[in-house]
Amino acid sequence: MVTLLLDSTQLEVVLSTVERALSFRRRNIVVPREQMVKAQLTDDAWTWLRGVPSPGTYLPSAVAMGSWKSAFGADFALIRRRRPGVVIDLSGHEEFERLILTTRHGVALMRALRLDVADEPEDVAVLATSTAPKVRRRRPVVAPGVG
């Protein structure tokens, strides 16, 4: 499972030894927060793949890890099986246009991206669960005569 560290300036995708080998990367992926344009949750990360692995590992419906080149630029994918994930669109990043990651902490990442966080990197799962703002739910408004 991918580890995501977030602080006030950047998001770091920390790769394990196996993930480094399968994605043909020597270092983690660091993305400054100002380069993250949009982040969205997805039930099927496979539908977001575009292009061909270059370099990367691809086993259909099992694993897709590494850089994916297409006419739109390069994406980084770290997809395992049919698990939920997150897609992060980037602008101005020197390597990638988009990150496609399967993680069970997608909701926590979305919450953490909306928070003001400390300067020290923290795991997004811990960050979001410990300091998530409480959301007040409003009662639905019912128009008169509708029932």
Q: Residue ranges of the domains in the chain?
A: 3-131
Q: Over the chain, what HEC string results?
A: CCEEEECCCEEEEECCHHHHHHHCCCCCEEEEHHHEEEEEEECCHHHHCCCEEEEEEEECCCEEEEEEEECCEEEEEEEECCCCEEEEEECCCCCCCEEEEECCCHHHHHHHHHCCCCCCCEEHHHHHHHHCCCCCCCCCCCCCCCC
Model confidence at 104, pLDDT cuts 50, 70, 90, reads confident
- Residues 91/112, Cβ–Cβ less than 8 Å: no
pLDDT per residue over 31-70, tens digit each?
999 999 998 999 999 999 999 998 999 998 899 999 999 9
Q: Name the more confident of 105 and 136.
A: 105
Determine contact, residues 64/79, Cβ cutoff 8 Å: yes
What digits encode the pLDDT tens for the residues 113-144? Answer: 875 555 666 666 665 555 444 444 445 545 55
Higher pLDDT, 77 or 104: 77
- Residue 17 banded pLDDT, cuts 50, 70, 90: very high
pTM attached to this predicted model: 0.76
Whole-number percent of the chain with pLDDT over 90: 54
Q: Which two tokens stand for residue 140?
A: 């639905």
pLDDT band at 72 (very low <50, low <70, confident <90, very high): confident
